[in-house]
Amino acid sequence: MKKTTLAAHAACPCDSGQPYGDCCGPWHAGYAQGTPAPTPEALMRSRYSAYVLGLIDYLLATWHPSTSPGELELSPVKWLGLEVRHAQATGDAGVVEFVARYRDSGKGVRLHEISRFVREAGRWLYIDGEMQEPE
């Protein structure tokens, strides 16, 4: 998948209703400079947007080393939307439940997941997710 750029004033792919420059854009641009997403939900949204935009380096950098695949190749799917159903953080642990919709080979798919996050050295990292049964 080719990396895509997005104008700061364009709608953020994570469906927050905010411009990219006020939502996921700063986390994508600032991660290497030490400006990580401040909450598990912000990280999850920025990771969804990274999938939409093909930002493989960001996805790998925000994946916990204990579960990271090391390499990542993105499927050529069309991401259609994101709904965050629940997000919480307690200390350095976080959970986000979401439904992401995408189209693969013309077929609509709903990915319903409960994702786990951990904060280490001030940075939230994605650990893993548990897929939920289709509704």
Alpha helices in 1-135 (DSSP H): 25-30, 40-53, 56-61
CA dihedral 55, 57, 62, 68 (to 10 degrees): 110
With 90 as the cut, is the pLDDT of residue 91 above it? yes
Give the residue, 108 or 75, on which the prediction is more confident: 108
pLDDT, position 33: 76
pLDDT at 110: 94
Over residues 107-124, mean pLDDT: 96
Residue by residue, what is the 3-state secondary structure of 19-36? EHHHCCHHHHHHHHHCCC
Residue-level pLDDT at 135: 65
Global pTM reads: 0.92
pLDDT at 22 over 90: yes
Beta carbons within 10 angstroms of residue 2's beta carbon:
7
47, 62 Cβ separation under 8 angstroms = yes
Q: What share of the chain is helix, strand, coil (3-state, %, to 5)?
A: 25, 40, 40
Write down all domains in the chain, each with its CATH number in brackets: 20-131 (3.10.450.50)
Tokens 């080393």, residue located? 65
Burial of 134 (0-12, 13-18, 19+ CB in 10 A): exposed
Mean pLDDT across the chain = 92
pLDDT over 90 (residue 35) = no
Residues, the chain: 135
pLDDT of the residue at 3: 66
